[in-house]
Amino acid sequence: MPFSFRIATWDGTTRVITLGTFLLLGGITFSIVSGGEIEALDIFILFLVWGPLAITWLFAPRGCLVSREGIVIRRAVGSFTIPAAEVESVELVGRVRPGIRLAASGGLFGWFGLFTLKDGGTAKVYATRWDRMVRIQTTGGDPYLLSPAEPEAFVGTANKVLLEAQPDVEARK
């Protein structure tokens, strides 16, 4: 039976970046549509302006599922599973200090993609805030950083379910 976890509410930075982007794009859209007759070039520009925003929204983290098969990162498009066999540990890490975003979104609808961290490492991030983070260490290299709404419950459930599914996980810790 899978256990579902909501993603945490947006932090202040995510709110500012997302709202600021909407205001900027809204202003651009208003200037295009209020200029009189809309031509093909105007429509093309609107797609260029709003298309990346829509794509980012589609790939933003929505939540997580924990099951015996692994941990599913839920997104509107492209949800994926971290297989239980690859999970070495799941732990609460609290506040994480991000470095540079290497790929994907740096605050628009959340934080997701590959990031450097201030401690010198890199991580695959699927989060909406940088405090109360959960780290999933895998056998495949870079850890995953998630921000479930209830991180303590997520860690407890993930460890219980994954240990039941894979008794040798404890031996790898």
CA distances (Å), origin 82, targets 8, 45, 76, 109? 19, 38, 17, 22
Which amino acid makes up residue 60? A
Q: Which of 142, 125, 143, 131 is nearest to 61 (CA)?
A: 125
126-143 pLDDT, tens per residue?
A: 999 999 999 999 998 899
pLDDT at 172: 46
- String of DSSP letters for 111-146: EEEEEEETTS-EEEEEES-SSSEEEEEETTSSPEEE
pLDDT at 39: 86
Give the range of the structural domain holding residue 14, as residue numbers without chain letter: 1-173
Which tokens belong to 123? 């991580």
Low-confidence ranges of the chain (pLDDT < 50): 171-173
Could you give the number of structural domains in the chain?
Answer: 1
For residues 111 and 128, the answer to whether their CB atoms sit within 8 Å is yes
pLDDT at 1: 79
Which tokens belong to 50? 């709003």
For residues 18 and 10, the answer to whether their CB atoms sit within 8 Å is yes
E strand intervals along 15-140: 61-67, 70-75, 80-83, 87-94, 98-107, 110-117, 122-127, 133-138
pLDDT at 171: 47
pLDDT at 167: 65
Cβ atoms within 10 Å of 47's Cβ, excluding its own: 11
For residues 89 and 75, the answer to whether their CB atoms sit within 8 Å is no
pLDDT at 45: 87
C-alpha 58/C-alpha 107 separation (Å) is 14
